[in-house]
Structure 1
Amino acid sequence: MDENKEIAYLREFVSIKQCELMFPLKVQLDNVGLLQEEVRAVRQATDTVGSLLQHIVNKINKSIKKLKTKQNTCENEESEVEIKLALKNGQTQKPLKSKMVLKNLITSNMKDVEFSIFNQRYTVLINAPFVKEIKLPVILYSNFSVQASRCHVLFAENNASKFSWYKSKDKENWTKVADSYRYKTVDDDVGHYLKLICVPCNNVLKGPPAEVISENKVEKIGDLPSCPFEKRHKYTSQKLDDDK
C-alpha cells in the first residue's frame, strides 16, 4: 500500500444490509473555491458499483451548490465529477463493472482496489477496523482507574487496537500521559480534561483513529462522610467495666 496515498474505507454492515464508502476530500475547484469534507456514501448491500458512484456524485454536487451559494457564485450548472472504482494494474486502472453488486465486491477479497475522484487516487481498504462509538465516564476522580465507558469497534480486536491518553486544562494544548486501555489518574490530573484516542486494529489492517474528550475535568474525591457515633467511639475505645 502506498503510504503517501489517501485511503478510502469500504465496509459492509451485515446486520443492516448496507455498504459504506468513506473518504476525505480536499479539492480546489475553479470559480468555486476549496471543497473539503469527509464523504460518507451509504447504499444497500444489493446495490451496484454504479449506484454507489452516482450517489457520491449527487452528494458532491450538493456540496458544491452550497459552496457556490456561500461564495455568491451565479453559475448554476453542475460541475463534472470524474469518479471511478477500479483495479490497479501498475500505473493504469481497470474500472470495475458498473453492474457489480457491492456485497459481491466486498466478499470477493479483491486486491489493489482503487477509488479516484477529481484525479485524486485512494487506496481502498475493505472492512478495515472502525470505531463506531467511544465514550468516557461523565465523572472522573484522581487516583482511580478510568477506561472508555463505551467502546464499540467493528472488524477489530481490543487486544490489537492501540489506545493513548492525553490531558489538557483548555482542550487545546494536550500532554500525553499513557499508552494503555486503562489509565490510572494521579493528583496532578486534577483540573484537567482527559482525551482518549483509539486506533482500531486487527491482525491485518489498521483503521482511522477516533478520539473522545471528557465532558468534565478530573476532580479530587472528597472525604467520605462520617456518622456521629464514629466520633463518639474515639472517646470510648475500651470497653467499660460493668460497675461504671
Structure 2
Amino acid sequence: MLVRKRYSARRGRCVRRSRLMESEFVKRKSGILSISWTHTTVVVNAITIGKLIKMEKAHLRKLRHSNQCELVFPLRILNENLEVIVEAEIRAVRSCTDVIESLLAHTERKVTKILRTRNIQNINVQTSLTVNDINVKGDINCKDFIDNPKKNIVFSIINQQFEVVLNAPLIQELALPKTIHVNYEFQPIKCKSIYTDKDLCDFIWYSSLDGQSWVEIGNKFKYKPTINDLNKYLKLKCVPKNRDEEGPPFVVVSQSTVLEMSQVPVCPFDDRHTYTKTFLTDKKQIRIVSYNILSNLYAENGNDVTYCSPQALSIDYRKQLILKEILGYNADIICLQEVDLHIFSWYLKPKLLKMYKGLFHRKGYKISEGLTCFVNVERFNVLESNQVVFGNEVETNPLFKRTWRLIQKCDILKDTLTRQKTSLQITVLQSRNANEIVIVANTHLYYHSKASQIRLLQASIALDYINDVYKRYNRISKYRVSVLFCGDFNSVPSSPTYEFITNGNFKNVFQDDNETVIPMHFNHPFQFASACGTPEYTNYTVDFKGCLDYIFYDKNNFKVIDYVPLPEESLLAERTALPNEVFPSDHLALVCDLGWT
C-alpha cells in the first residue's frame, strides 16, 4: 500500500515513519488492534482485521453543482484502557479536478489537527486508498476515479480501514417544524439530498417524554401526531437509499414537544368579509384577490420574528387563518404568492376543490414555494396555464432580446437577473357567462431593497410575455381579450416599476460601479391602473412598512366597481407587526370587484 509519511513525537523526539511494516508486532484482541513501535505504543479501534469485525463505510462522492468531491468517514480511536479519546466524523473536501494524493494529504491534515487540539501527539497519521489490494495512483483525478465504477475499494487511515462507497445516497439537510400539533399532519422541512430516491428511503418516527428513551411510532415520510404524542418529543431517522446503495442514516429531533392547537380567534379579516358576504351575481362583474400568504420557508424558519409566538408562526396555525380569510372573500379569481407546495397540494387545493380549480407553479421550477391561481369553475373555463422564469429565458427567448441586449452591457445586471428564480404565472380564462377572455398574470418580483433596476427589468420581461399571449388570443379568438396583472411587486408607488406599469413606458439611464452608462427605455401597450389604488400599507413588518402589492387592470376593458378597504394601521400595529396571532401573513390581501366595460 502507498502510505503517506508523517512525524510521530514522544518525549520531545521525532521519529520518521515511512511504512506500517516498521511495527514490531500486531496483537489482535476483541476487535482492538494494538500496534507497538520502537518508541511508541498506540491503541486504536480496528474496523477491519480479517474476519474479526465488519468494515465500516467511508463515502466518496461528487457534490453536484459545486465541482467538488468529499470523503466522509467516522474516526474512532481508543487508548490503552479502551477509552475513546477521539470520535469524530471526518469530512475532507477537494475540487473534482484535484488528484487522489491531494485528497489524502488534506484528510491527514484534518485528522492531525484534531489530534493536536486534543494534545494527542503519539499517533502517526497515514492514509492509503486501494482497489483489490492494489494501491491507487496518487496522480489520478478525483472525478475520474469516482466516475469509473469499481468494487473492493478500501480506505485506510492510521489503522482503521473502511469499505469505500462511491456516490452513496446522502441526506444533506433535514429539519422538523419548530411547532408540531396533535392531529395536524406534517412533514420534514429543508429536505436536501443527493443520489437519493425518496420513494425508496426509510423514514422512522419515534416519540419520547424525556428525549432519552424512544418508542417507534411511524414509518412514512409524513406523520400525524396523536393524542398519545402530546407533550412528547419527536425524532425522525431517515435512511437514504437509491436502487443500488444505502447511505448513512440522518437523525433529527424536534426542538419542542407536541402541542394542542389553539382555537382560531376572531380576526380583522372577519370585518373585511362584511363587504363580500356572497358571490357576485352580475355576469359582467368579477371579484379578484391577490395575496402574498408568506411561505413557511420564510416564516417559521426565519430568525427575525421575535415579537410573535412560535405557534402563531407555525404553518399549521396560519394555514387555518389563510383558508378562512380566502373563503370569506367569495372571489372568482384568487392569485397567491409564496405558496408552499405541500400546503397547496395537501391543504388549500383539497379544501377549495368544490368551487375552484387550483393551478400551482414552483418558483424557478425548483423551489418548494411558488405562485398559485385559483379559478371559480362556475364562472370560468381554464384555456391555458404556464410559467416563465425570467432568469432562465431572458438570454434564449426571442421575446426578450431587447432586454438581453441591454443587460449584456453590464455584468452586474446580467448576473443578478439571470441568477434569480423569479417567475411569472399565466392563466388564460374564458368566461362561462360572457364573450370575454381574461389573461391573469401573477408574479412575485425580486425582493432586495437596492434592486429596483432588476425589478424594472423583470416587469419588462413579464409584460413582453403577457403581450405575446394577448396578441395570440386576439388572433385566434372571437372574444374580447383583457389582462389582469396581480402580485407582490416589491415596488412602492414612487418606484420605476410602478411608473412603468401604469404609464406604459419608462426612460432613464443606469450607471454601474464601473461607470458604465446604460440607457433604459421600456414600453408596453396596456393601459393599466391599480384597482385598490396605492394604500399606505400592504406589507407591515418590523423592518418595512409600505405598499408593495397591486391588482393592475386594463382600463380599456374594465372598471372598478368596488374594493375592500384595508385595516387601519392601529390594528396592524396592535401586535407590533405582521404576521401575528390574527394576521397570518406579513402582507394584506387585496380584494376588488371589476366590471367589463
TM value normalised by structure 1? 0.82
Separation in 1, partners of 2:124, 2:227: 58
Is the partner of 1:180 in helix, strand or coil? coil
Give the one of 80, 104, 108 matched to 2:124: 80
Residue in 2 that maps onto 1:132: 172
Written as runs of structure 1 = structure 2, the 5 A alignment for 1:145-184 is 145-184=185-224
Written as runs of structure 1 = structure 2, the 5 A alignment for 1:1-244 is 4-28=54-78, 34-68=85-119, 79-88=123-132, 93-225=133-265
Residue in 2 that maps onto 1:241: none
Partner deviation per Cα, 1:27-65 (whole Å, 9 max, x = no partner) = 2367xx822211100001000110011111111111111
**Letter matched to residue 78 of structure 2:** Q
Separation in 1, partners of 2:149, 2:54: 23
Instruction: After the TM superposition, list the runs of 4 or more consecutive aligned residues in structure 1 that deviate by more than 4 angstroms.
Output: none
More helix by percentage:
2
Partner deviation per Cα, 1:85-143 (whole Å, 9 max, x = no partner) = 1112xxxx111000000000000112211101122211000000000000111111101
Is the partner of 1:171 in helix, strand or coil? coil
**Letter matched to residue 227 of structure 2:** D
Cα displacement (A) at 1:80: 2.4
Cα displacement (A) at 1:167: 0.9
- CA distance change for structure 1 residues 226 and 37 in 2, over 3 Å: closer, same or farther? closer
Residue in 2 that maps onto 1:231: none
Separation in 2, partners of 1:35, 1:190: 38
- CA distance change for structure 1 residues 226 and 34 in 2, over 3 Å: closer, same or farther? closer
- CA distance change for structure 1 residues 56 and 226 in 2, over 3 Å: closer, same or farther? closer
Cα displacement (A) at 1:79: 4.2
Which structure has the larger Rg over C-alpha atoms? Answer: 2
Cα displacement (A) at 1:226: 5.8
Separation in 2, partners of 1:56, 1:120: 14
* Aligned partners of 1:129 and 1:155 also within 8 Å: yes
Separation in 2, partners of 1:81, 1:215: 38
Is the partner of 2:200 in helix, strand or coil? coil
Separation in 1, partners of 2:262, 2:93: 49
Separation in 2, partners of 1:139, 1:28: 40
Separation in 1, partners of 2:149, 2:216: 38
Separation in 1, partners of 2:88, 2:203: 26
Cα displacement (A) at 1:222: 2.6
Relative contact order (C-alpha < 8 Å, sep 6+): which is higher? 1
Separation in 2, partners of 1:127, 1:159: 18
CA RMSD of aligned residues (A): 2.2
**Letter matched to residue 73 of structure 2:** F
Residue in 2 that maps onto 1:233: none
Is the partner of 2:104 in helix, strand or coil? helix
Separation in 1, partners of 2:91, 2:175: 22
Partner deviation per Cα, 1:176-226 (whole Å, 9 max, x = no partner) = 101111112111111011111110000110000001111121111133336
* Aligned partners of 1:27 and 1:118 also within 8 Å: no
Is the partner of 2:87 in helix, strand or coil? strand
**Letter matched to residue 63 of structure 2:** F
**Letter matched to residue 217 of structure 1:** T
Is the partner of 1:145 in helix, strand or coil? coil
Separation in 2, partners of 1:154, 1:201: 10
* Aligned partners of 1:198 and 1:210 also within 8 Å: yes
Is the partner of 1:15 in helix, strand or coil? coil
Is the partner of 2:118 in helix, strand or coil? helix
* Aligned partners of 1:29 and 1:35 also within 8 Å: no
Separation in 2, partners of 1:158, 1:28: 37
Separation in 2, partners of 1:83, 1:138: 42
**Letter matched to residue 118 of structure 2:** L
Separation in 2, partners of 1:62, 1:42: 15
- CA distance change for structure 1 residues 102 and 158 in 2, over 3 Å: closer, same or farther? same
